[in-house]
């Protein structure tokens, strides 16, 4: 089958129309017609080969909402049906037999995992993925805005599961952009006390409207110094290097500083910042199929929706530049118009 897409032919180049032959559908794969696809900052990182390892032509896009149009022989009777609304996130395949997969931690499969970007992603008319990574959408979920939940949303939801966050927890979120605004909405739904750290004072009212209990200027050393020992968890969503020491000191006893932002510079961590109070520095990637399903069910039940701006997919380059310039409010979603 021929699939139409928009691809980067070289690192950093504008995307161009690109058609490829997807070949026969693998036995355990599902073919999905793309309706919407979110734009994530990691798409830019892959297009620009910021992390190394990108292969071209590169078709980005890994926050896909679409409809099942074909099922491989071994994907029959797996709870999916032709025409069903589904989502596909960062991961498209995993081996299903390594220790990580057997433990339900498929996102950390080291032998079979292929991200949708390397698997030909969702800036396209169609996308293929292994059946277990094709996530059924609850009927109440808004299909236009749901895509960013499949990468940005699960990225900030997973730390809440890892660290047993509940209604008694005190949580800080650094960086209120595409990831951070979803973290606030999820934390608010879970009943936690939420402090947002932002360097942009103009966002204060909108951040409070999202559900944050307070907003602290992340560049105000005095304000940060007054928070010593307060937080059970601080999630950093930013990809830039900061002075992290005040945040370590803001952790409560056994508190966790958790990064999901891809900061390229190594973290500086004074040993006593962790030793005193039995604190920890942790990180995580995206989530398993079970965690993705749980997130979508929660989002549908309590009406959590990312704040989005919509572009037609034919204007993908304009959308990418909008994200690159930091103008997205707060996520960009492409509508397929092939």
- Per-residue model confidence as pLDDT tens digits over 124-173: 999 999 999 999 999 999 999 999 999 999 999 999 999 999 999 999 99
φ/ψ region of 226 (left if φ > 0, alpha if ψ in -120 to 50, else beta) reads alpha
Number of other CB atoms surrounding residue 288 within 10 Å: 24
Whether 39 has a pLDDT exceeding 90, the answer reads: yes
CA 313 to chain centre: 20
pLDDT of 118 over the 80 cut: no
| Phi-psi map region of 61: left, alpha, beta (phi>0 left; psi -120 to 50 alpha) | left
Predicted local distance difference test score (pLDDT) of residue 113: 67
Mean pLDDT of all residues in 302-310 = 97
Q: What's the pLDDT at 115? A: 72
Question: Helical H runs in the chain?
Answer: 41-47, 99-102, 152-162, 180-190, 204-210, 221-225, 245-249, 271-275, 289-302, 316-324
Q: Which two tokens stand for residue 158?
A: 């997973």
pLDDT at 111: 77
Residues above pLDDT 70, as percent of the chain:
99
pLDDT in tens, 211-250: 999 999 998 989 999 999 999 999 999 999 999 999 999 9
- Summarize the confidence of residues 68-88 as an average pLDDT: 98
Q: Please state, rounded to an integer, the average pLDDT across all residues of the chain.
A: 96
Q: Please state, in angstroms and rounded to a whole number, the distance separating the CA atoms of residues 181 and 184.
A: 5
Contact 165, 232 (CB under 8 A): yes
Q: Report whether 38 contacts 148 (CB < 8 A).
A: yes
Element housing 221 (H / E)? helix 221-225
Specify whether the CB–CB gap between 113 and 306 falls below 8 A.
no
- pTM to 2 decimals? 0.96
Confidence of residue 53 (pLDDT cuts 50, 70, 90): confident
Instruction: Give yes or no for a cis peptide into 57 (omega within 30° of 0).
Output: yes
Going from the C-alpha of 40 to that of each of 119, 179, 205, 321, the distances in angstroms are 16, 9, 24, 12
Q: What is the mean pLDDT of residues 251-264?
A: 96
Integer Cα distance of 297 and 210 in angstroms: 20
Instruction: Give the pLDDT of residue 30.
Output: 98
For residues 181 and 176, give the distance between their C-alpha atoms in angstroms, rounded to a whole number. Answer: 5
Structure tokens at 270: 């004074």
> Is the Cβ–Cβ distance between 312 and 318 less than 8 Å?
no
Mean pLDDT of 27-43: 97
């Amino acid at each position: 089958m021929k699939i139409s897409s928009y691809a980067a032919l070289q690192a950093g180049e504008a995307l161009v129309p690109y058609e490829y032959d997807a070949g026969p559908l693998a036995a355990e794969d599902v073919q999905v017609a793309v309706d919407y696809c979110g734009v994530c900052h990691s798409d830019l990182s892959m297009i620009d080969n910021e992390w190394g390892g990108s292969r071209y032509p590169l078709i980005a896009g890994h926050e896909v909402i679409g409809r099942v149009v074909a099922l491989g022989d071994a994907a029959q009777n797996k709870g999916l049906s032709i025409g069903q609304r589904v989502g596909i996130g960062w991961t498209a395949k995993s081996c299903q037999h390594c220790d990580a997969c057997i433990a339900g931690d498929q996102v950390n499969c080291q032998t079979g995992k292929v991200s949708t970007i390397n698997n030909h992603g969702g800036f396209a008319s169609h996308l293929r993925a292994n059946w277990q990574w094709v996530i059924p959408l609850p009927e109440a979920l808004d299909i236009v805005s749901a895509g960013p939940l499949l990468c940005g949303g699960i990225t900030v939801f997973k730390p809440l599961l890892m660290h047993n966050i509940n209604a008694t927890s005190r949580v800080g979120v650094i960086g209120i952009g595409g990831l951070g605004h979803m973290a606030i909405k999820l934390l608010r739904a879970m009943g936690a006390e939420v402090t947002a750290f932002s360097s942009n004072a103009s966002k204060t009212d909108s951040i409070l409207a999202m559900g944050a209990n307070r907003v602290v200027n992340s560049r105000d050393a005095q304000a940060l110094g007054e928070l010593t020992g307060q937080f059970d968890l601080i999630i950093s969503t930013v990809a830039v290097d900061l002075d992290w020491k005040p945040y370590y000191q803001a952790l409560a006893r056994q508190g966790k500083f958790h990064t999901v932002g891809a900061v390229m510079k190594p973290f500086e961590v004074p040993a006593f910042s962790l030793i005193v109070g039995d604190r920890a520095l942790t990180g995580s990637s995206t989530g398993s199929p079970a965690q993705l399903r749980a997130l979508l069910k929660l989002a549908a039940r309590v009406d959590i929706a990312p704040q989005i701006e919509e572009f037609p997919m034919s204007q993908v380059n304009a959308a990418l530049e909008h994200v690159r310039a930091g103008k997205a409010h707060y996520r960009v979603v492409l509508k397929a118009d092939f």
